[in-house]
Amino acid sequence: MEKALTRALSGFLPICANCKKIRDGQWLWIQLENYIKRHTEAVLSHSICPECMSKLYSALNDTMENLEKEG
């Protein structure tokens, strides 16, 4: 079996219901991506889910869908 390359997060993580920042310590709130970088060996790769693509880039999303249908 392959060895795990990242440290696992465990326990209770206080996360803001609105902005999704995580409390790191008593008063410090940091972005989720930064928390993962600080506390794991994981490497993050940004992408965009289909739902957000539709909301944020509807014209581009429509063009991509049309190209997929044609191709």
Calpha distance 30→44 (Å, rounded): 16
Residue 55: give the domain boundaries: 22-70
* Alpha carbon distances (Å) from 22 to 4, 19, 25, 30: 24, 9, 9, 5
**The pLDDT of residue 56 is above 70:** yes
Name 61's bridge partners: none
- Confidence band, pLDDT 50/70/90 cuts, at residue 1: very low
Residue 64 belongs to some domain of the structure: yes
Express each pLDDT in 11-47 by its tens digit: 888 999 999 999 988 899 999 999 999 888 888 898 9
Residue 48 belongs to some domain of the structure: yes
Residue 53 belongs to some domain of the structure: yes
Residue 16 belongs to some domain of the structure: no
Number of domains observed in the structure of the chain: 1
Which residues are CB-neighbours of 9 under 8 A, at least 6 positions away?
Answer: 36, 39, 40
Residue 3 belongs to some domain of the structure: no
For the question of whether the overall pTM of this predicted structure is more than 0.75, the answer is: no
